[in-house]
Structure 1
Amino acid sequence: MKRRIVTATVLNQSGVLNRIAGLFTRRQFNIESITVGSTETEGVSKMTFVVQVEDDRMVEQVVKQLNKQIDVLKVNDITEQAIVTRELALIKVMTTPQTRAEINVIIEPFRATIIDVAKDSVTIQVVGNFDKIEAMIELLRPYGIKEVARTGQTAIKRGSQRLGAESKQFSILN
């Protein structure tokens, strides 16, 4: 199974998310995550779907069908393109006074922060790509994870800047 990232720019109308998710469901895609948010244009939203597929041709068919929807302005499978993805995760980890210092050492390289402290737990906020979030969860698992809440991935194509005859991609803190 392959993970694919599909974005859809849509009119912000009631029922659009349901109709689009329904197309994925009818094709028997496993939707790992969906994020939806407003864009720079009033009345327009962007949806990011992360799906599991067996065959890339299946995604091509869904993209074609989505483009036919009335409220859909644009659909792209951006998996193979130069993109930036981000996800927010909140991770509640069991702690003791002795393990709090260890947990701080673990989360520091991830640029994660503790956003809540209780007697027997801390809640950590981490932002990054899918692999970063997964790596952090695995490192915290031995301490006892009480709860995880994740937003799902959102993605955007990288910008490019022309330098002479060639175009180069730039990124800060991938």
Structure 2
Amino acid sequence: MSETNQRSATIAVLVENEAGVLARVIGLFSGRGYNIDSLTVAPVDETGRISRITVVTSGTEMVIEQIKAQLDRLVPVHKVSDLSLEGPHLTRELALIKVVAQGDDRVEALRLADAFRARVVDATTESFVFEMTGNAEKIDAFCALMRPIGLAEVSRTGAVAIARGTRHIAA
């Protein structure tokens, strides 16, 4: 698979919220050797019957089309939507970032957090935990700047995405 022929795909999948559905979706990827770059899932309707799975993957156009077709064939799947192809969409992640620092490094960590609009959600005399939302590149850039200051730990949700404007995915 040539690098030039690959693309990233953000795929939203509406499924029945029942035991084993996520395992079946993951099994589809692992059984065929497809990589999952990011995966999030949560109930999205008022009754809790429908869940939305957001998968970020990459591959050739043919591989991504195969993934979507195979997802669409799974019984509890209601709708498969490739947000990457269907028009403008928003993608965000949530990250909790722990920085252990003292002295001037603490001041620098707070200055950078302010510039990146990260929020302090925990502070001790030796550490901060920052909460940040944004695209993956923003979070990666913040972590890279925190590394020399004292980046200790990162926990990320993975991507969630939604179409812009009036377009929407309905079951």
TM-score normalised according to structure 1 size: 0.86
| Unaligned residue ranges in structure 1 (runs of 5+) | 162-174
Q: Which residue of structure 2 aligns with residue 170 of structure 1?
A: none
Contact 1:93 1:123 in 2 (8 A): yes
Q: Which residue of structure 2 aligns with residue 44 of structure 1?
A: 50
Distance 2:153 2:7 in 1: 27
Q: Which residue of structure 2 aligns with residue 164 of structure 1?
A: none
User: What amino acid is the match of 1:18?
Assistant: A
Mapped pair 1:140 → 2:130: no
Mapped pair 1:82 → 2:64: no
Alignment partner for residue 8 of structure 2, among 3, 9, 13?
3
Aligned length: 160
Q: Which residue of structure 1 aligns with residue 108 of structure 2?
A: 102
Alignment partner for residue 131 of structure 2, among 125, 135, 138?
125
Contact 2:58 2:64 in 1 (8 A): no
Distance 2:24 2:15 in 1: 11
TM-score normalised according to structure 2 size: 0.88
More strand by share: 1
User: What amino acid is the match of 1:148?
Assistant: V
Give the drift of 1:41: 4.5
Q: Give per-residue Cα distances to partners, 1:23-56, cap 9 Å, x unaligned.
A: 1112211112110011135200100011132x11
User: What amino acid is the match of 1:117?
Assistant: A
Distance 2:162 2:57 in 1: 16
Q: Secondary structure of the residue that 1:30 maps to in structure 2?
A: coil
Distance 1:158 1:37 in 2: 20
Q: Which residue of structure 2 aligns with residue 159 of structure 1?
A: 165
Give the drift of 1:160: 4.0
**Identical amino acids, percent of aligned pairs:** 38
| Unaligned residue ranges in structure 2 (runs of 5+) | 1-5
Give the drift of 1:101: 1.6
Mapped pair 1:72 → 2:81: no
